[in-house]
Amino acid sequence: MRLKDFKLLAITLLLSSYALAQHTISGTVTHSDTGEGIADVQIYNKAKGQLTETNADGSYTFQTDRPQLQLVFFSYDFQVEERLVSVDNDVQINISLKPLGVTLSEVEISARKEKVFELSRLKDVEGTSIFAGKKTEVVLVEQSMANLASNNARQIFSQVVGLNIYQNDDAGLQLNIGGRGLDPNRTANFNTRQNGYDISADVLGYPESYYTPASEGIKEIQVVRGAASLQYGTQFGGLINFKMKTPNPNKPFELITRNTVGSNGLYTNFTSVSGTKKKWSYYSYFNYKKGDGFRPHSEFESKNVFAHLGYQFNENTSLTGEVTYMRYLAQQGGGLSDTMFYTNPNQSNRERNWFQVDWLLYNLKFAHQFTENTNFTFNFFGLNASRYALGYRSNRVDQADPLNERDLIKGDFKNYGFETRLLSKYKVLDKDATFLIGAKVYNADNKQQQGAGSDGYGADFSFYNNAFSSYKNQSQFDLPNFNVSVFGENIFYLNDKVSITPGVRFEYIRTQSNGVYKNINLDGADNVIFEETITDNQDFERSFILFGVGLSYKPSSALELYANWSQNYRSVTFSDINISNPAFQISPDITDEDGFTADLGIRGALNTIVSYDIGAFALFYNGRIGFIQKKLDDNRVVSERGNVGDARTFGLESLVDFNLKKILQLNSNFSFNYFVNASFINSEYTASKVSGVKGNKVEFVPDYNIKTGMKFGYKNLLANVQYSYLSEQFTDATNSKAAGISGVIGEIPTYDILDVSLSYSYKRFKLETGINNVLDNAYFTRRATGYPGPGIIPSSPRNYYATLQVKF
């Protein structure tokens, strides 16, 4: 389909949404004692699922073409109300809910939620987004028993299938997750968002996420796999959206404070305030972390502030603003060679390496409901941030630091943009349909500089190029990027059970690189014998269209069959071409990657006894970027990063969660669940211009990735046990098993981890504690190519934590 044809179809479908009306159900839900409106009451059609929820004033509205509905009005603090409604015209239904007569325990609240519906997956339509026919997973962080104080991703994402996680940060300062053969480094292969807006350094030129929200302030994490490329960017991984906690709708002021102590001098504080007063609402938190780290020279300190302010003009229109600021400084113990790791995995021979991040995010969101069927959102967002890396790096990681000048890399990121979406529900030949069209404009002005740092020990992030004029790695670049995208999807419901969702995304990308670097040659005594300054200006424009389609078949409320196919694209980042690294070199012919992903699966829940999602996926990569071992003319072997070849990855993924409480018929004082999360993956390079690569396995793909666990509770006492197992995986396309002197390339051996956690609630108090890596296994998940290495970055040994929460 040509682009102009798509635009014509989009306009036609949008206009048709106004011509075909449905019957409107509206009303207000109030407190039986006070008469005040109750916010966030969930309203369900008992046969089909959630329809809507009440606004801050207790009002609600939705449309239906059904002649009769069995409505359920649900809120945790009130008794459930059911109402049978006949619909032959517009109907107004006002409901008065009675408060619960007793205070429920945490387990009883969970049980109440199970009696209604499980909210573990995204609905077909949420807000101004379409998720029909896509593989979606929702991490309910508020129900998690993970070590939230240190953002323990292994526990938080325990029920998201197929994820590969770097586990080298015992404070959770950065999130490093990948999946299906995608590099986990700083989650760069996902479009990473917070409340729907971008949080990475530069979505196109440097899509790494140095900022991760505090888990204690997150309500849920939405994960949408590769088919998210049509709405949220072109990445192969898909979307990760951190949905933050929202203002308490029923109190003008609420305060929660959490203090955590743990191994290696860990201390964290999380304090939040929240409330709603008339049309105003707010939620804000401050998060502080400090610790010594489990290795020498690994201390850190982090401060993070988040603030949300909302104003509800009326039931149809709202305006919210958010500001996030994070700053952290971390000393980095450097990487290890294989010999060093197996001798002592917790050693360090780098005392002068430091890393500092400043991250300022801002967002303004306007939401308006034109009609009961048509919603509109406008997001203006921006970032002003920096990341500074300082230290001694060598391709021999076992080499002692000579205490001369250090390598300093500075990255400064300034970007802003807006994303607008219009979603409308309408009918086609008396069948339901939902149309979405949106556009995004993104502008980035980034700067990157590399040169000589000081010869001291501290975190001095000033350049000393004049003092150390012979330092080789000197460069300075301006890196502007500009992106315009237009996207659209449409759900066509063929009947009550079958839907098809085609979609399209148009991308215009312009990436530029304007700067200079020095070429310096030294003699054997490190004297400069040749020096030249080289200008390197690049301007790369491209535009293309991505297509995709999703299918869904729901024969019953307990079963859904879904399938999707979507094209993907990844542009070369400026870190791929402008950073000098002693551990590897960059191919001069490196170019963008493209390909597609596909999913096929079944999911659902059987009478709250078992919840499941079992499926298969395929990922095809053209021109995959990776590492190879290259032999030079002088017989030296170096690591080179470039387009290795075409690759494909197939896999089976499954999550099954058993409600043993129901199976064993335990009473309401108990909760008892057991889950198995397993993925089995096969990968292969199908074509390559590099000899010895075709037929090899793809990097970062463990054949077996299994997480299993059990959660048991009695009244307010809960216990959780989790076991994780990942088989061996390669880190380069030549499938090197033995590592070189740099520690960058080689196998990541099989590893397994056992975690145990407990929690107890009493009135306004909650105590959480746990032990991570109970078996004290020595393992690693990462061979870093740059900072915090290069080399093997060990994972944390056995450690404990204890958290006390108080709510006012």
Average the pLDDT over 174-195 and give the result: 93
Residue 14: pLDDT over 50: no
Q: Where are the beta strands (DSSP E) in 688-772?
A: 704-714, 717-726, 751-762, 765-772
Range of lowest pLDDT (311-325, 562-576, 590-604): 562-576
**Mean pLDDT, residues 621-634:** 79
pLDDT at 606: 84
Under the banding of pLDDT at 50, 70 and 90, the label for residue 577 is low
Predicted pLDDT of residue 587: 79
CB hemisphere CA count around 609 (13 angstroms): 6
Handedness of CA 333, 337, 342, 344 (dihedral sign): negative
Residue 755: the pLDDT is 97
Residue 526 has pLDDT above 60, yes or no: yes
Q: Count other C-beta atoms under 10 Å from residue 507's C-beta.
A: 21
What confidence score (pLDDT) does residue 582 get? 63
Judged against a pLDDT cut of 70, whether residue 667 lies above it is answered with yes
User: Using alpha carbons only, what angle is made at residue 271 by residues 265 and 276, rounded to the nearest 5 degrees?
Assistant: 170
pLDDT mean over 525-554 = 87
Please give the pLDDT value at position 632.
65
106 has pLDDT over 50: no
For residues 464 and 405, give the distance between their C-alpha atoms in angstroms, rounded to a whole number.
8
Q: Which of 31-35, 680-684, 733-737 has the highest mean pLDDT?
A: 680-684
**What's the whole-number mean pLDDT along residues 720-744?**
90
Which pLDDT score, from 0 to 100, does residue 575 have?
Answer: 64
Is the distance from CB of 583 to CB of 786 less than 8 angstroms? yes
Which of these ranges, 230-239, 566-575, 711-720, has the smallest mean pLDDT? 566-575
pLDDT tens digit sequence for 546-572: 999 999 999 987 899 999 999 999 988
C-alpha torsion angle, residues 615, 618, 624, 629 (rounded to 10): 70
Of the candidates 318, 419, 321, 420, the one whose C-alpha atom is nearest the C-alpha of residue 369 is 318
Is the pLDDT confidence value at 72 over 90? no
Given this model, what pLDDT does residue 579 score? Answer: 61
Distance, in Å, from the CA atom of 138 to the CA atom of 157, rounded to the nearest integer, reads: 9
Q: Specify the pLDDT at position 758.
A: 97
- Rg of the chain (C-alpha set): 27
Secondary structure of residue 456 in the 3-state scheme: coil
Q: What percent of the chain has pLDDT over 70?
A: 91
Q: How far apart are the first and last CA of the chain?
A: 58
pTM of the model: 0.87
Phi and psi angles of residue 590, each rounded to the nearest 5 degrees, phi first: -65, 135
Please tell me which residue, 100 or 752, carries the higher pLDDT value.
752
Mean pLDDT for the stretch of residues 384-412: 94
Q: What is the pLDDT of residue 2?
A: 46
Q: Is the predicted pLDDT of residue 119 greater than 80, yes or no?
A: no
Q: Name 547's bridge partners.
A: 504
Give the per-residue pLDDT at 8: 43
* Ordered DSSP codes for 332-395: ----B-HHHHHH-TT----SS-EEEEEEEEEEEEEEEESSSSEEEEEEEEEEEEEEEEEE---S
CA distances from 578 to 240, 514, 516, 555, 581 (A): 28, 10, 10, 53, 10
Instruction: Quote the tokens at residue 172.
Output: 């959770």
| pLDDT score of 82 | 86
pLDDT in tens, 478-503: 999 999 999 999 999 999 899 999 99
Residue 731's CB: how many other CB atoms inside 10 A? 21
CA 331 remoteness from chain centre: 25
The pLDDT value recorded for residue 584 is 67
- Please give the mean pLDDT across all residues of the chain: 89
pLDDT for res 557: 78
Q: Which residue has the higher pLDDT, 428 or 11?
A: 428
For 425-482, the pLDDT digits (tens) are 999 988 999 999 999 999 999 999 999 999 999 999 999 999 998 888 899 999 999 9
pLDDT of residue 159: 92
> pLDDT grade, residue 253 (50/70/90)?
very high
Cα angle for residues 698, 614, 108 (degrees, 5° grid): 125
Q: Tell how many helices (H) and how many strands (E) occur in the chain.
A: 6, 42
DSSP assignment of 515-574 equals EEEEEEEE-TTS-EEEEEEEEEEEEEEEEEEEEEEEEEEEEETTEEEEEEEEEEEEPPPG
Q: State the pLDDT confidence band at 580, using cuts at 50, 70 and 90.
A: low
* Average pLDDT over every residue of 392-406: 92
Instruction: From residue 244, give the alpha-carbon distance in Å to each of 218, 322, 616.
Output: 4, 11, 31
